[in-house]
Amino acid sequence: MRKYFFTLSIFLLASFVTCAQGKWSIALHGGAGSASVNMTKEQITVYETELLKSLEIGKEMLKNGSTALDAVEAVVVSLENNPLFNAGKGAVANSEGFHELDAAIMDGSNLKAGAVAGVRDVKNPVKAARLVMDSTAHVLLISEGASAFAKQMGLEIVDNNYFTVDKKVKQQSDKGTVGCVALDVYGNLAAATSTGGMRGKKWGRVGDVPIIGAGTYANNNTVAVSGTGHGELWIRRVVAFDISALMEYKGLSLEEAANKVIFNKISPMGGSGGGVIAVDKNGNISLVFNTSLMHRAWAKSNGEQGADVLKK
């Protein structure tokens, strides 16, 4: 018995040391778009302040030993609850006047993933995506089936008009998605993304966010990626996975891979463009976009931290 407690004590001490010494990184985004809306300094400050609030949630969790998976989910939930962004409350409407939401989450430690698409009544779609990953044998549930599952699992269900907000609350282009990527102190990566999609999209349209490998991807061997932009292009180029593949198969750095995909593959295809946030297995962060703005924030265990809106 004494040997058992000694072994257990050593294990707990080792876990504490690992947690205390392990490095972590986190990045989040609130969409990319055009600065032609002429955002004022006050409006930019509002967005940066809100981004930093969500960043703080993830930072504190990672500092205290939470997993990357739990951290990215919590951050995206906070962004879904913030009416300034196009995800959850504040999501844009489709051509029929309804809000249809998509979300995804992925665990880089085992490549498990969960996603929902076209849900109209789940308050926090990213929570439903997490439950799809953790509580089913599936990856993607859609529409009424996804909503029924979410309700069965006890998630909060709301009227579709819950997602509608006063236009005055929206202070910039509303085409953006929200997302978060993180590396935790245990060396695991995770990514989560959520969106209301394109304004006026055809009823039933699904973008890149819930398509694993397109708008969301995480692999402990390489990188965690969350994208924002013209979803059809992201799907056709399998953007998130392509960044990982370039790193794994060609040995490119995170920054090289992200730049290659966004500027050499997405930009030539036209469309509204967009960007990605990514964290690699070593804690490096990349925030690459080909638009004039991307709402973004980031932090590392070494003290680096920031939030920005416009391209520098």
What DSSP letter does each residue of 224-277 carry, written as one string? EEEEEE-HHHHHHHTHHHHHHHHHHHH---HHHHHHIIIIIIIGGG-TT-EEEE
Question: Is residue 257 a part of any domain in this protein?
Answer: yes
Helices (H), 102-218: 125-135, 143-152
Q: Given this model, what pLDDT does residue 170 score?
A: 56
Query: What range defines the domain where residue 146 resides?
Result: 23-310
- Is 76 inside any structural domain? yes
Q: Could you tell me if residue 231 is inside a domain?
A: yes
**Is position 176 within any domain?**
yes
Q: Number of structural domains, the chain?
A: 1
Residue % of the chain over a pLDDT of 70: 89
276 within 8 A of 228, measured Cβ to Cβ? yes
**What tens digit of pLDDT does each residue of 221-247 get?**
999 999 999 999 999 999 999 999 999
- Alpha-helical runs (H) found in 136-175: 143-152
Q: Is 286 inside a domain boundary?
A: yes
Q: What is the pLDDT of residues 206-221, one digit of tens each?
A: 999 999 999 999 999 9
Report if residue 185 sits inside a domain. yes
pLDDT at 67 over 70: yes
Mean pLDDT of 70-84: 97
Residue 4 within any structural domain of the chain? no
Q: Is residue 304 part of a domain?
A: yes
Tell me whether residue 45 is one of the annotated catalytic residues.
Answer: no
pLDDT at 13 over 70: no
From the candidates 49, 67, 177, 195, give the one annotated as an active-site residue: 177
CATH of the domain at 267: 3.60.20.30
